[in-house]
Amino acid sequence: MIPPPLARLHDLLPAETASAAETRALGARLAEALGPGLTVALFGDLGAGKTQLVKGIASAFGVPPETVNSPTFTLVNEYAGRDFPIYHIDAYRIRSVDEFFEFGYEDYFFGEGLCLIEWPERIAPLLPEDALRLRLTHLGGDRRRIAPEGAAQP
């Protein structure tokens, strides 16, 4: 059984977007089902739209989209949302699970904010069991597909 409010995501996903603006708009709609204490793992290749989706989610919580960027070199960006913090993690440069463990990931995964992770496959053993796992797929041009991880591809 899918816990509410995550059950609402079934009405929105899978989805296809045809521009960065549409991906951000989908993120804003997805945000209605997200909140503090949740970890969202965003799987997808380079250019799949992960950061654009994060911009949309963060904007729904009052974070200006132009302040949201991928924390590839800083590992984590913290944004002050209206009611709670948003933690944007990019695990691309993590060399090992041990390195991420030493980073103090628990403060983000089990903290008081919403945790959004790009490249979560690099730290998969540490992901919370109840993490929302989304797969972003580049379909060519500006088209993207966003679906729950493991959902059948068209």
Per-residue pLDDT of the chain (154 residues; tens, 9 = 90+): 344 456 677 788 999 999 999 999 999 999 999 999 999 999 999 989 999 999 999 999 999 999 999 887 788 999 999 999 999 999 988 888 877 777 778 888 888 999 999 999 999 998 999 999 999 999 999 999 999 986 555 4
- Half-sphere CA count of 115, side-chain side, radius 13 A: 26
What confidence score (pLDDT) does residue 72 get? 78
The rounded distance, in Å, linking the Cα atoms of 51 and 61 is 16
58 dihedral zone (left: phi>0; alpha: psi -120 to 50; beta): alpha
Q: For the chain, give every domain's residue range.
A: 37-148
Q: Which two tokens stand for residue 63?
A: 């974070």
What confidence score (pLDDT) does residue 117 get? 96
Three-state SS across the chain? CCCCCHHHHHHCCCEEECCHHHHHHHHHHHHHHCCCCCEEEEECCCCCCHHHHHHHHHHHCCCCHHHCCCCCCCCEEEEECCCCEEEEEECCCCCCHHHHHHHCCHHHHCCCCEEEEECHHHHHHHCCCCCEEEEEEEEECCEEEEEECCCCCC
Given the candidates 1.10.1380.10, 3.20.20.140, 3.90.700.10, 3.40.50.300, the CATH classification of the domain at 37-148 is 3.40.50.300
> Do residues 120 and 91 touch, judged by C-beta distance below 8 A?
yes
Q: Which two tokens stand for residue 22?
A: 């549409």
